[in-house]
Amino acid sequence: MSNDCGGYTYDEDAINARKSDVKIHPVLLSRVSPREMTGELVSDEDINSLFEAARWAPSHYNLQPWRFIYAKRGTEHWQKFMDLLWPLNQQWCQTASHLMVVLSSKWAELRGEKHRIPTNSYDAGSAWMSMAIEGAAKGLVIHGIGGFDFDKAYEAVGANKDTHNVEAMIVVGKRPAKADRKQNETITPRNPINTFVSEGIFKNNDKF
């Protein structure tokens, strides 16, 4: 890790490996999803900073439909969250500090009436990205996961499918210092802008 700035840290390897076509903030280029963690617990202060970052994400009518339920390693809830993961993910998550289930609320009260939130999943994704950037800037591992039992997650956290969506899980942990890393994880590129942006009309570039 390098480029320490006011307590925040950019991953110089990622910045050097990734070349943006248009200039953007380096923290965006430095955000990666590594799997190697030290097994140490992340402090409550740093965990709360992730939630604080999510708190300031934009949402439909400012209804803030995101919900984060977490388990800290070594506590009574930990194994319940571990059991949700696919076996392959369970292997590398053993050294995580926290596991989280992300949900979004489908409904809210707006002007005294029940209101269906049309962007609940979109807004929860916005909150997750704010959290991911904050975590990356702190030099933490913060890794989104879709490889888990979604149906089982509702039961595990006590959520109702009629009112909430289970969106994803998040793994949080401490990343080893560069000299101590045993894994050489690939820093992934991205598709060019013209594959997902078009003016005026949708262009289906998807191949499936």
Provide, rounded to the nearest whole percent, the portion of the chain with pLDDT above 70.
97
Q: Token pair of 195, please?
A: 């594959």
pLDDT digits (tens, 9 = 90+) for 16-43: 888 999 999 998 999 999 999 999 999 9
CA distance 11 to 2: 6
Do β-strands 164-174 and 140-145 pair in parallel, antiparallel, or remain unpaired?
antiparallel
pLDDT digits (tens, 9 = 90+) for 70-114: 999 999 999 999 999 999 999 999 999 999 999 999 999 999 999
The widest CA-to-CA distance across the chain, in whole angstroms, is 57
Please name each of the domains of the chain with its CATH number.
2-7+42-178 (3.40.109.10)
Is it the case that residue 4 has pLDDT exceeding 70? no
